[in-house]
Every structure is written in C-alpha cells, then in structure tokens.
Structure 1
Amino acid sequence: MSTTMTPATPATAMPRRRLGPVALGLRQGRLEITQFLRSRESVVFTLGFPVIMIMIFASIFDGEIAPGVRFTQYFVTGMIATGLMTVSFQNLGIWIPIERDRGVLKRYRGTPMPKWAYFAGKVILVVVIGVAETALLLAVSAALFDLELPGTAAKWLTFGWVSALGITACTLCGIAISSLARSSRSGSAVVTPVALVLQFISGVFFVFTQLPSWMQQVAALFPLKWMCQGLRSVFLPDAFGAQEPGGSFELGRVALVLAAWCVIGLLLCLGTFRWTTKRDG
C-alpha cells in the first residue's frame, strides 16, 4: 500500500517570519555594500583617489608650513574630510539619480518594504565605506609619510564626533542634491563640480589662510571647511590653532555648524526627494 505525499497548502504552510527593523536595515545595508563592491570603478575611485592624491602632493610639497608642521600633515587632514564627503555626498548624489532613472526607486516604493529601509541601507553603506577609507588613509599616511596618530583619548573623541557630524551632514546633502539631476547621466555633472569647488576653497589642496578672504568666507558657509578645521585639531599640534582664521580651532563652532547642516540637510531631503523621474509622474 503506497502513500502519496501532497504539498502543503497555503493554509497549512508555515508563515514566513517577518524581519524586525534592525534586521531589515542590516539586510538592505549588506545589499548596498555588495552592489558597491561589484562596481570596480566606484571602488577604485572612492578608495584609491584620496590615496593617490596624498602620494602626489606629498611628493611635490615636502616643506613645512609652520614650525614642526609639514604640508603633508596638513594635506592628510583635508583628504580624510574629502574622503568622507566623497563616499557620502558625491556617491549618493550620483548613484541615486541612476537608480531613480532605472526605475529602481519606483519598484522599491511599490513593495511592502518600508521606505526608511532604503535610506538605512544607504547610511550603512556610507558608514562602512567611510570607515574603511579613513583607515586606509591613516595607514598609508602613517607608514609612508610619518603621520602621527592621535595620542590621547580626547583627540580620538574629537576625531569621532567631527567625522560623525560631517558624514551625517554630507549624507543628507547628497540625498537632497540627488533630486537636482534630471537623468542618470546628469548626476555626475551636477555633483562633481560642486564637490571640486568645495575642495579647492575649503583648505584641502591649499593652506586655508592663504586663500583670498572672500573665498574663505564662502567656504565657511559649507560643511567641508569645518570638517577640515576640526580634523586639523586632531592631527596638528595645538599651537597650530593660532594659524587658523579665528585664532584657534574653534571646535565649538565646528560642532555648531556641522549640526546645523545636519538639520538643513534633513529638511532639504524631506522637501525635495523624489522616488520617480518627472516623466514617470
């Protein structure tokens, strides 16, 4: 006598367990990181460009800008800030329009997945890649250019909150500026010039106080200048603070400006972000 196995009906099938918010966010973040790593061009540009720039500038400018402070030390702080801006503001401002143009965001909105999970995935991607890039820059600078790492817990704490506030502000601004691109092709054209101009006027490639005063005033309106200034307080001697425009590193003002940009960026995101292109309605 034979028995026949019948497949379970939907009524008797075990229900699939619904993921909690943390697990859902982590899964989306893992997906974002996997997609990023599969794009070799993005990986090489994001992780390799700051290292290449440090090696080029360190080979060209090897003198001192102040007693006991070489230009390489000064430049490294700017490139760390630039790296954080690249993985957040620049990458999101370029890739979100591509996903919008391909209909990826429209499909996301049509699924049961909560909208916040999409942004959680982007945040996790930015944090993971930002930490990896910063660690790579510090390792290369310490090994090849004798960069002195922070020697006190207070310095590392400053490094942590400046980086956290800076990357948060840049992430929110990157999501907001992504709505300016009309198509996937125009994302880079919109974001890259803004990023380059901010680097030139914010004390990344040149000593900030050697720039024209009007340029310094314009740069002071944006987060990158304050990220660079906050990081200089970590990696440069305390005495170098007297060389800053305000006569000190002004860490209180650094925190205030970066926090204000986090609020501004959030408001811009809420008011401008679009899930579909204009042609999709």
Structure 2
Amino acid sequence: MAYFQQQIFCKPKIPFIDQLQEGLKEGKSVIVIGSILPMAGRFHVNLQCGSHSDADIALHFNPRYEGGLAFVVLNNFQKSRWDKDECKSDFTLPQNQLFILQILVTKQTYKISVNGEHLMDYVHRIPFTLVDTISVDQMVNLDFIVYQDSAVVPYKTLINGGLQPDKKIVIYGLLNPDSKMVEFSLHRQNGKEFRYKCLFDENLVVLNTSENEWTEEEKTGNVFFKKGQLFKVTISCIKEQFTVCVNDQAHTFKHRIAKLEDIDVFEVYGDLQLFFVKT
C-alpha cells in the first residue's frame, strides 16, 4: 500500500473559493461533504480556471429543488457565456442530510457520483488541465472539501506528529451491501497497536491491541454500521482511552500502550467504498 496524499479544507464557509494544489490531475478526485439546507432552492460546485469573477468554469454542478422536484444541471462557462445545459432529472439528494459528492477526473470526462452511486459522466468542454480553482455557493453547509488521489482499500496514511492526546481521525465511507467486515487499525510502522474490527455476519465488534503480541480481545454485539449505507466514523484519542464513534454511537477501549505518540500510521481494511480520511 502506498501512503496517501490529499488537500483538505475543513468547515469551509459559504461562499467558498480556493485554489487546488497543482491544478486538476487525471485520476484524482474532488470530494465535497456536507448537507443541503432544509429550505434550499439550489446550490452549486464549480471547477474553474482562475478565481476572478469572470473566470471560465469547466464544470458547473448545480442541484435544484423546485416544486417538490429535485434535478441537477451541469454546464460550463467560457468566453463570458454559458454553454448548453445538461440535465439529470432522476436525482436524489435529500435536504438536511449528509451527502458526499465525488468528482473523479478522467482523460475524457468528469465521473460524478453522489453517496457512492454514479450519477453521470460529463464530457470535458474545457481541458481539465486548465482548472486550478474550486468554488461552492448558495444554500449548503460544508464539513469538508478534499482534493485527493482516489481512495483505495486497503488504505494507509501517515499521522503527522504521531497520535497525540485529543487527536481525532475522521473517516467517511459506504459499506458494500454484502460487506463481511470493516477494520480500522493504528500502529507504528513496525507493528499494529490498536484494532477496531466489525464482523457483520456474526454481529460482532472486536477491539484489541498489541505491542509484541495480541492481548485479550474485548468483544461486543453492538454493531453500529448498516450495510449499503453511508457512515461517518470518528476515532478519538484521550489520555485514558480510544473512543470509536460510528454514526454518533460509541465504543471505548482503555489504553494498553505506553507511548501513544509513537503511533504514526492509520489503515483501513474491508468491504467498503472509502471516500475520505482526515488524520
């Protein structure tokens, strides 16, 4: 597994605009995570060529809610005029609920998915190599905007500065409908230190730790994941324990490791789509 690189904007305020490091690259994804306001009429995400007010827009992704119907309009803007709209009517993105928008850059198209389901391909009308800025506006609350390599499971990333007290790791993903297990592990580069593993067919959560060898497992039947659904996991490290919060429900595990700051690697395994990890 290769270590993972990403650019993260945390809790960005609307209207939002900022540069994408080194511009768009083939094989990388823009991830937008947030919730649409309850009475929203529309919002938009733009991938654009520059940050000035009349910049060309290579992709305008514009969900709209009108007369009880939800649909999305895609377009581009160049030479001070809009091109022809492309519309998608069979579009489900509920207001006031978590959504994850993923825009994957390929050579010919933007592959757009919402909550893990492919929505449509948008053929490039402006070369993606000219895009260097993202903007988001109108009636939406944002948790994260991320620009990253496509997340592949098994997944590995470094924890900068090691695992310090009050450190939080946040994971967004989607369990496969036939998922058998998911596992999160924290360790030094020479061995695992903490493992949180869900076995869905057995309805079992297993927590454990090791330095030279595995210690006694702690087990519970309280599995907080649901197959085929989005999840948000927060792993918190405080002085006495780890807390693993899955969709606002938590398991705890008291520390059995002396030097938490030596833990500097985080990994994900299992049957899932992985969208974003913040360490």
What TM-score do you get using the length of structure 1 for normalisation? 0.27
Greater C-alpha radius of gyration: 1
More strand by share: 2
- Give the alignment's TM-score, normalised by structure 2: 0.27
